[in-house]
Amino acid sequence: MKYRGLWITTALVAVAATAAFTQSAFTQTEAGARKAAAARPTKIDPAARRAFFGELHLHTVMSFDAWAFGTKVTPDQAYKFARGETIMVPASQVAIEQGVKATAAVPARRAWPLDFTAVTDHSEYLGAMTQLDDPNSAFSQSDIGKELGKGGQQAFFKAGQMLHVEGGGETPPIMKEAAKAADGWNVEMRAANANYQPGKFTTFVAYEWTSSPGQGIHMHRNVIFNSDHAPNPFTAVDSNKPEDLWKYLNSVRKQGIDVLAIPHNSNLSDGRDFDWNMSDGRPIDEAYAQNRALNEPLVEIAQTKGTSDTTPELSPNDEFANFEIMDRVYKGETSPNQHGSYVREAFGRGLVVLSQVGANPFKMGIVGASDLHNGLSVSDEDSFAGRISGLDKHTMLPTGAGARTALGMARAEGEVGVRPNGQRENDPLQFAGASITGVWAEENTRASIFAALRRKETFATTGTRIRVRMFGGFDLAPTLIGKADWVKEAYAKGVPMGSDLPAVARGKAPRFILQAMKDPDGANLDRAQIIKVWLVGKDYKEKVFDVALSGGRKADPKTGKAPAVGNTVDLTTGKTANTIGATTLTAEWQDPTFDPHVPAVYYARVLEIPTARWTTHLAIANHLPIPAKAPATIQERAWTSPIWFTPPKG
């Protein structure tokens, strides 16, 4: 990846295309989009819900950092790419970000179309940097504009300081003027509405609130609106406290627009995302817990900057905990604070807080996303080459120096490796392939998919189209999943993932029904597991249960561990032989450790058989050695939203 001056004339074409959205074009789609956004799902039969896959975290040229990295893809292009259309990526972008020499724009197409997408550009001075693509703009003519116009890592550092994202002095007035000239929020809304195709492809008006209360500390949130319009974003320049963001969200709901926020990269929050305390340092109280649960019903568990489920240190008895861990980004070789940074622990802490104040602040469903910064949302391992970029493997795959840089064998041109405060940059091999969100919804519309997000009937995968759903209940029959109408009965007699089991006084243990189906074009499944987290005094415990194993395998009765599924990856080609594993896994499991007096959380994890990691694909394509510092193969996976049990009071 090469970082160098970003002013290349051809880039003007893409930016001009963004600015070219006219008010008349917006008006043509406005009436239909408003009607569709306001309508409730037309089908309310839960048993008819289908799995839809999408992206809830993506950046384009409108984000200050994406622009600094070389991105020229616009929000309009990003939506078209996500829904499966071919777009033309400016030559400057592929040259800078992939090291691919091109004399003209390069065609790019996603391997398979998504069902829904939200472009979530950084709201802080949204679009301001695009004014530097016009050499005659006031921003380009200013001293700071000339400095930032050089692009690259130093421009990223400088812009971050000015935007108060990484802390710094007062933002120059010229930045505010540039953002106003860019009209960024209207550009975002027009792009979302112009690309919304109810029943086929859903878009969401959205943005990222980029709070970083310390160097490299992420407390960012993606804000998703259930509407074709929304008031101007509340930004981290306004406040870097989540409580202040929630005030804004509450005010938006009073205007008739539902909205939610999704924390991401809690693994990089240095213990702050799921802290015991509020922003002012006081212990979490009931009002905070209720406010957070309302405004942040979901959490992003995986993306390119690592997974946020758990770590081997936090879950020493979980043999699959060491998966795509990136907890030292921007921290160099220092040790981060893992406690308070991972979702599984948050589920446990939520039970503790619930027992103390009567409300659970961390009652979150699960989603996944990419956080890619070049406008191209991809999720296949062979369509990623590290860092911040998705790509079309047929036209944009790095070669030569670009491939060696992506694989950590060389340093990018202009990359300093050390941040202004002395912290070392992260190892490029730590980056993971992108993840996606799955929802169970009646139809592919804003109203239906947002309703699924709001009720937390969601799951995340590390990029594959594993379809997984889980139900729980006290009256589910042990042979339910064998019936033709099992889903209908599961909804009628139980609750889906994202819900609460009924509080019961009797000692009967709940039964869970789980079904997972492989990606139709992907690898077979290894196993399905249910992870239980339960309250123990002022702490919590966790346990992983294998509830379905492929190939007739049985767990060792002494250790409780199941034998490994095997590995069929050919490391000379990167291909996987689907001769092991299963196409579908089902389970009917009753908790053998259930205590009707103890609060608990249950969520599922499904693993594929091993497949080649992105680093292996890239190395093989370039006839380079597979990096020894990264795993050659991984087990892609999915996580469901939890089901909670709270004992009756008294």
Average pLDDT, the chain: 89
| DSSP reduced 3-state for 2 | coil
Q: Which is nearest to 543 in space by CA: 597, 598, 583, 496?
A: 598
From 436, 458, 479, the end of a domain falls on 436
Q: Compute the average pLDDT of residues 615-624.
A: 98
Q: What is the DSSP string of 391-423?
A: --TTT----HHHHHHHTTSSPPTT--SB-TTSP
pLDDT, position 410:
76
pLDDT band at residue 17 using 50, 70 and 90 as cut-offs: very low
pLDDT, position 172:
76
Residues 479 and 424 in one domain: no
Residues 158 and 238 in one domain: yes
Amino acid at 180: K
Tell me which of 198-202, 283-287, 353-357, 406-410 is least confident: 406-410
Sign of the Cα torsion 259, 264, 266, 272 reads negative
Q: Is the pLDDT of residue 19 over 50?
A: no
- Between 152 and 69, whose confidence is greater? 69
Within a domain: 3: no
Q: Give the length of the chain.
A: 650
Give CA–CA dist 424/416, Å, rounded: 9
Within a domain: 6: no
Residues 327 and 377 in one domain: yes
pLDDT band at residue 611 using 50, 70 and 90 as cut-offs: very high
pLDDT band at residue 90 using 50, 70 and 90 as cut-offs: very high
Residues 517 and 407 in one domain: no
Give tens-digit pLDDT for 380-435. Answer: 999 999 888 999 999 999 999 999 999 999 765 555 455 455 555 568 899 999 99
Give tens-digit pLDDT for 509-537. Answer: 999 999 999 999 999 999 999 999 999 99
Among residues of the chain, what percentage have pLDDT more than 90? 77
Run of H or E including 278: none
Residues 244 and 369 in one domain: yes
Residues 111 and 57 in one domain: yes
Number of domains the chain contains: 2
Q: Compute the average pLDDT of residues 360-372.
A: 98
Residues 153 and 112 in one domain: yes
Within a domain: 395: yes
Within a domain: 448: no
Give tens-digit pLDDT for 449-500. Answer: 999 999 999 999 999 999 999 999 999 999 999 899 999 999 999 999 999 9
pLDDT, position 28:
33
Q: Is the pLDDT of residue 162 over 80?
A: no
Instruction: Give first-to-last CA distance, the chain, whole Å.
Output: 61
Within a domain: 457: no
pLDDT band at residue 144 using 50, 70 and 90 as cut-offs: confident
> Can you give the residue range of the structural domain that contains 553?
468-645
Within a domain: 441: no
pLDDT, position 30:
40
Residues 110 and 241 in one domain: yes
Give CA–CA dist 331/430, Å, rounded: 13
From 417, 436, 455, the end of a domain falls on 436
Within a domain: 510: yes
Give Cα 353 to chain centroid, integer Å.
Answer: 26
Count of Cβ atoms closer than 10 Å to residue 34 Cβ: 14
pLDDT band at residue 195 using 50, 70 and 90 as cut-offs: very high
Residues 391 and 488 in one domain: no
Give the list of residues 6+ apart from residue 313 with CB closer than 8 angstroms, or none: 338
Residues 549 and 609 in one domain: yes
Q: Compute the average pLDDT of residues 173-189.
A: 94
pLDDT, position 115:
98
Q: Is the pLDDT of residue 35 over 70?
A: no
From 436, 455, 482, the end of a domain falls on 436
pLDDT, position 337:
86
Residues 380 and 486 in one domain: no
Q: How far is CA 78 from CA 63, 157, 586, in A?
A: 13, 25, 36
Give Cα 640 to chain centroid, integer Å.
Answer: 14
Residues 178 and 275 in one domain: yes
The residue ranges of DSSP E strands in 462-561, in sequence order, are 467-473, 495-496, 511-517, 525-536, 539-549
